[in-house]
């Protein structure tokens, strides 16, 4: 099965310059029609919207501020305000998915207590997501290399919160790189969570370079995604080891097609 690719414009196409509209144009020139970004902070939203339209590119995900300490209930009001602004930016740009991270964990509370508090925070933004027509994607990320101290360090952490919230607006973003880096076995994890999958992201491990630069068996990974019924785009969120970005992505682009 062929998969359409989306590219993260924070890590990739940096050679096109700082302006997000120029990175959109560069990705489109290489044939990519789906892109992902973190936020519009400090960026020209009108110019970005025009660039997406001019180049026939769809923005498929944005990220809510991942630094909020959601295990502390006193942060939840600010969290809701930030999420609403992210939704406003996303919908303006035609994007209907917002990534929500757990933020850091704390050493003085048991994990089930912390997960329950995060679930309360996520439940409180579901009405906002419904109002904007946005899907909330919870993302586990690794603590071993990239995000020391984060609460959602394993897929099961995000799944626990998704199940507690129990809303069709809250689904899972599974990043193969983060999962492998945390020593999870995707062949065990993915079949169990396939019914919750909203989006899949990838990079190679070790190193978080483009697929093909590390040790992950990508033919096996793609076959696994197919076997669990995933049909959506695959988001590449990597730090390219080759320049320009288009050259780094050629091998994987051919493999998925």
Domain locations along the chain? 5-250
pLDDT for res 1:
67
Q: pLDDT tens digits, residue range 214-250?
A: 999 999 999 999 999 999 999 999 999 999 999 999 9
Structure tokens that stand for 187 in this block: 């062949």
Q: What gap in Å lies between CA 154 and CA 141, rounded to an integer?
A: 7
Looking at domain 5-250, what is its CATH homologous superfamily? Divalent-metal-dependent TIM barrel enzymes (3.20.20.150)
Q: What gap in Å lies between CA 52 and CA 105, rounded to an integer?
A: 37
pLDDT for res 83:
98
Q: Considering the entire predicted model, what is its pTM?
A: 0.96
Q: What gap in Å lies between CA 152 and CA 138, rounded to an integer?
A: 9
Q: pLDDT tens digits, residue range 101-126?
A: 999 999 999 999 999 999 999 999 99
């Amino acid at each position: 099965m062929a998969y359409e690719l989306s590219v993260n414009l924070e890590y990739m196409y940096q050679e096109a310059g700082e302006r997000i509209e120029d990175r959109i144009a560069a990705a489109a020139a290489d044939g990519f029609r789906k892109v992902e970004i973190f936020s519009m902070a400090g960026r020209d939203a009108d110019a970005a919207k025009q660039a997406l339209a001019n180049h026939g590119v769809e923005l498929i995900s944005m990220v809510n501020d991942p630094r909020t300490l959601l295990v502390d209930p006193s942060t939840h009001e600010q969290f809701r305000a930030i999420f609403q602004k992210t939704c406003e930016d996303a919908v303006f740009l035609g994007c209907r998915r917002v990534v929500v991270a757990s933020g850091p964990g704390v050493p003085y509370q048991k994990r089930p207590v912390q997960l329950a508090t995060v679930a309360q925070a996520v439940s409180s933004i579901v009405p906002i997501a419904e109002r904007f027509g946005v899907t909330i994607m919870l993302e586990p990320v690794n603590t071993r290399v990239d995000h020391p101290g984060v609460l959602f360090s394993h897929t099961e952490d995000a799944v626990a919160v998704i199940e507690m919230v129990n809303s069709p607006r809250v689904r899972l973003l599974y990043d193969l790189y983060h999962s492998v880096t945390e020593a999870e076995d995707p062949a065990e994890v993915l079949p169990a969570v396939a019914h919750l999958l909203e989006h899949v992201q990838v990079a190679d491990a070790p190193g978080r370079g483009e697929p093909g630069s590390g040790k992950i068996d990508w033919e096996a990974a793609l076959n696994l995604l197919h076997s669990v019924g995933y049909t959506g785009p695959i988001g590449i969120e990597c730090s390219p080891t080759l320049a320009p970005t288009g050259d780094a992505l050629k091998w994987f682009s051919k493999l998925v097609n």
